[in-house]
Amino acid sequence: MPTILITGFGPFPGAPVNPTTALGQHLARLRRTQLRDVRLIGHIFTTSYAAVDRELPALIARHKPDALLMFGVATRETRIRIETRARNALALLPDETGASLRRHAIRPGGPASRRMPMRAACLFAAARSARVPAYLSRDAGRYLCNYICWRGTEAAAATGGPRLAAFVHVPPLPRVPRPRRTGGRRRLTAADLARAGEAILLSMAAAARR
């Protein structure tokens, strides 16, 4: 039985409501015929470097997931953004706890980037099949989302780590129930994110079985 660890983040400065909190919880509880042989584990990180470094290895050691599906919010995004690589880069911005790592590289002297160990094209096709606009990205930023991307690729490369790892950026939700348009594009709703997330999870489950 394959195991998939699904993660999201809590709020942070600039995002008092993080849609990946509810999305991660929803997906971890999802019941579909296509998932009847899959064990889903959900976890929401406090948006802090220390939480990722402390909790991600513990979760992997405890649950031994075959796949790691991570979500984060990109506050200026309007579409689903599927990351194809993690950058060895850090901003000096403080996290939710006020801490920063005070360096410009996650791993000083390491490679400039690491490829995400999951075929992003499959996840892109899944999101589009859910009728949600999406695209592939080579730049996960320099904040916590990119940081967990990097840590996820390291975990996947380690003995006994997950074979697959993917990171998906989602846009913030509109503050009013009625979706608004931004630059001619309709703002995505919680239902849109749930639909895309479910399709992406099913695609990852299929890959984890192979």
Taking only the tens place, the pLDDT of each residue in 93-105 is 999 999 999 899 9
Domain limits for position 56? 3-209
Taking only the tens place, the pLDDT of each residue in 32-87 is 999 999 999 999 999 999 999 999 999 999 999 999 999 999 999 999 999 999 99
pTM for this prediction = 0.94
Where is average pLDDT lowest: 45-49, 112-116, 127-131, 183-187?
183-187
pLDDT of residue 182: 52
pLDDT of residue 177: 55
Task: Spell 144-176 as b/e; 16+ CB within 10 A means b.
Answer: bbbbbbbbbbbbbeeeebbebbbbbbbbbbbee
> CA-CA distance, 208 to 210, in Å (whole number)?
6
Domain count, the chain: 1
> CA-CA distance, 205 to 146, in Å (whole number)?
23
> CA-CA distance, 210 to 207, in Å (whole number)?
5
* CATH code assigned at 187: 3.40.630.20
Q: Where would I find the H helices in 41-164?
A: 49-63, 120-129, 144-157
pLDDT of residue 178: 54
**Which has more pLDDT, 45 or 185?**
45
Distances (CA, A) of 194 to 41, 80, 131, 202: 17, 11, 12, 12
